[in-house]
């Protein structure tokens, strides 16, 4: 059974709960209209369709839209190598859906990471703790309204109490430019949108001056 046939089987079995299969860049996926049914659908996919490996669970922040969250389950059949994606939406007000750890134990860390980075809860998870940030950290770094430069957090006794995870950022690459040096990521000052020259660029300038070729690199080799 191919990935497309598996998706069609899900559609036949669950009816309106499952969308028509969609293909994007060779990957087949379906959308589950009710996130509360995710365990039922995943259980069928494993038991009846052979998708015995949960490759990944990821989350998408549809910031500005409702429902805000999309949770994506990437499944693989280890016997034939077929893969399929299951997508379901969760509103920000609820921000919760059932855990699939009872079907695949590998869901443990995937769901903890989504909880930690996006703030989505998984009911029935036996150990839903933060996995990257410390307990008590008040923000969710992968949300689109979380600034690249991080937010200050006053947490006594914790090393990372300054802006995180990218202190001094955001770092951006400027399109165009005459050289790779000019296109290197720089610190952008949000208030002015100016580009602040970083120490790496200054160091290259010093090296150019040292070799007598300011702003032009080492220059062409001379013919003997």
182 pLDDT exceeds 50? yes
Asked if residue 119 lies in contact with residue 142, where contact means CB atoms within 8 angstroms, the answer is no
Q: Where in the chain is the domain with CATH 3.30.460.80?
A: 3-123
- Compute CA distances 151 → 13, 63, 133, 138, whole Å: 47, 18, 13, 10
pLDDT of 57 reads: 98
pLDDT band at residue 146 under the 50/70/90 scheme: confident
- What mean pLDDT, rounded, does the chain reach? 81
Mean local confidence (pLDDT), 24-33: 95
**What does the block give as tokens for 178?**
């005459």
Please report which residue ranges of 119-215 form alpha helices under DSSP H: 199-210
Mean pLDDT (whole number) for 39-47 = 97
Return the pLDDT at 13: 97
The answer to which of 20-24, 99-103, 182-186 has the lowest mean pLDDT is: 182-186
Q: Is residue 144 predicted with pLDDT exceeding 60?
A: yes
Residue 188: phi, psi to the nearest 5?
Answer: -100, 130
Rg for the chain, CA atoms, rounded = 24
Does residue 195 carry a pLDDT above 60? no
Does domain 3-123 bear CATH number 3.30.460.80?
Answer: yes
Q: Calculate mean pLDDT across residues 111-139.
A: 93
The answer to whether the CB of 118 falls within 8 A of the CB of 142 is yes
pLDDT digits (tens, 9 = 90+) for 151-164: 776 655 554 445 44
Summarize the confidence of residues 103-122 as an average pLDDT.
Answer: 97
Find out whether the peptide bond into 170 is cis, omega within 30 degrees of 0.
yes
- Percent of the chain whose predicted confidence (pLDDT) is above 90: 58
Write down the pLDDT at residue 184. Answer: 61
pTM: predicted TM-score of the whole model, two decimal places: 0.71
């Amino acid at each position: 059974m191919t990935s497309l046939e598996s998706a069609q089987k899900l559609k036949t079995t669950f009816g309106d709960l499952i969308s028509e299969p969609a293909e994007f860049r060779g990957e087949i996926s379906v959308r589950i209209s009710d996130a509360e049914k995710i365990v039922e659908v995943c259980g069928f996919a494993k038991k009846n369709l052979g998708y015995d490996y949960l490759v990944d669970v990821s989350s998408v922040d549809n910031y500005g839209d409702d429902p805000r969250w999309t949770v994506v389950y990437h499944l693989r059949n280890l016997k034939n190598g077929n893969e399929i994606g299951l997508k379901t939406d969760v509103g920000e007000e609820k921000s919760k859906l059932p855990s699939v750890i009872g079907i695949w134990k590998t869901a443990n860390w995937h769901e903890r990471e989504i909880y930690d980075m996006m703030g989505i809860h998984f009911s029935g998870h036996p150990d839903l703790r933060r996995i990257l940030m410390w307990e008590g950290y008040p923000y969710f770094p992968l949300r689109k309204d979380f600034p690249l430069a991080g937010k200050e957090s006053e947490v006594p006794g914790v090393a990372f109490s300054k802006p995180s995870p990218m202190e001094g950022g955001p770092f951006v690459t400027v399109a165009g430019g005459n050289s790779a040096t000019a296109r290197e990521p720089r610190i952008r000052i949000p208030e002015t949108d100016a580009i602040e020259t970083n120490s790496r660029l200054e160091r290259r300038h010093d090296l150019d001056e040292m070799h007598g070729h300011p702003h032009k690199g080492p220059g062409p080799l001379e013919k003997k």
